[in-house]
Copies of this chain bind each other. A is one copy, B any other.
Amino acid sequence: MKRRLNAVLSDIEAELRESTERGEVAGYIPPLAGIDPAKFGIAVVLPDDTTLLAGDADEKFSVQSISKVFALTLALGNRGDSIWQRVGREPSGDPFNSSVLLELEKGIPRNPFINAGAIVVADILLGAYQPRETIGEFLRFMRFVTADDDIYIDHHVAQAENDSGFNNAALANLLKANGNLDGAPAHVLGVYHHYCALAMSCRQLARAGLFLTSSGRNPITDTRIVAAQRVRRINALMMTCGHYDGSGDFAFRVGIPAKSGVGGGILAIVPGIASIAVWSPGLNRHGNSLLGTQALEMLCQQMNWSVF
């Protein structure tokens, strides 16, 4: 399989390199707006520690919303299923930044992968701690998950998101007004924006997703990250809610659980088989990487990977 997989990755990278339809780089976070749209990287890590790369797979990018998967994992570990009293598990049918349902449903976000839900998860992790401590804990968790200390938070990006993240500020204040935020909005937003500003390469991100492929264990370090049952549920959430109001289409076209970020990255899981990270900065109209989605569709089709 590895030889074939390597050939497939090379083919995909070669084909997409030439693509002239690359989507739009997210413009609303200034430090991300300048990213070269020609970038493209992909990494596949197998449970036996095989790592296959193509393109800019070792270049770090801002993982943005992909970090919601890890924040949720950490929150489930720290607080258990009580978190589901504060955030739902349903696709919202709305864009990532919508506050419409939030108002109609009295402050309980539909799921932890839309911004409102991820802000609640950040608040849960913040608890009685200081933002700095919580951010530090999250970074340590990411380094533990990947067994790689060369992961950092880009404070420049975090600051820019704090400065221009008016929509997130609206969501945090709406949550607070509805009694579903313990911390001060500014503190919670600080935590949230730092999570999102995590800088990782495709290689690192694919390694980070390995526990989702392997029933909750990192098979390389042989450490348990989370219970097997929880992994299945996190994967289920990625399947139904991982691409905002493009989740159904992604499930339909690609057929595996995945989570996108506006930095252009996507983490995708083939349960039992592979953890995949892909990066191309241009986004489609739902805010998901245009070429990243195409790459995953091609890869899964050619490798016959699907959960269905």
Contact = CB atoms under 8 A, between A and B. Distances in A.
Interface of A: 88-94, 98-101, 103-104, 110-111, 166-167, 169-171, 173-174, 176-177, 185, 231-233, 235-237, 239-241, 245-249, 251-253, 255, 257, 271, 306-308
Copy total for this chain = 4
A258 B129 CA distance: 42
B101 A103 contact: no
5 closest A-B pairs by CB: A93-B93, A235-B308, A91-B91, A90-B248, A307-B307
A115 to B, nearest CB: 12
A233 B248 contact: no
Q: How would you classify the secondary structure of chain A's contact residues: helix, strand, loop or mixed?
A: helix
Given A232-B255, A236-B308, A252-B237, A94 B93 contact: yes
Contacts of A271: 307-308
Contacts of A247: 90-91, 240
Given A307-B271, A308-B232, A174 B170 contact: yes
Given A174-B99, A308-B257, A92 B93 contact: yes
A252 B89 contact: yes
Contacts of A245: 90
Given A176-B166, A236-B308, A239-B251, A98 B93 contact: no
A142 B171 CA distance: 34
27 contacts: A90-B91, A90-B247, A91-B91, A91-B240, A91-B247, A92-B93, A93-B93, A98-B103, A99-B103, A100-B103, A100-B104, A169-B169, A169-B170, A169-B185, A170-B174, A173-B173, A232-B306, A233-B252, A233-B308, A235-B308, A236-B248, A236-B308, A237-B248, A237-B252, A239-B308, A240-B240, A240-B252
A177 B167 CA distance: 5
Nearest to A286: B90
B248 A241 contact: yes
A176 to B, nearest CB: 4
Chain B CB count within 10 A is highest, among A94, A166, A169, A245, for: A166
Nearest to A93: B93
A74 B284 CA distance: 31
Contact of A248 (B89, B101, B170): B89
A174 to B, nearest CB: 4
Contacts of A233: 252-253, 255, 308
A249 B89 contact: yes
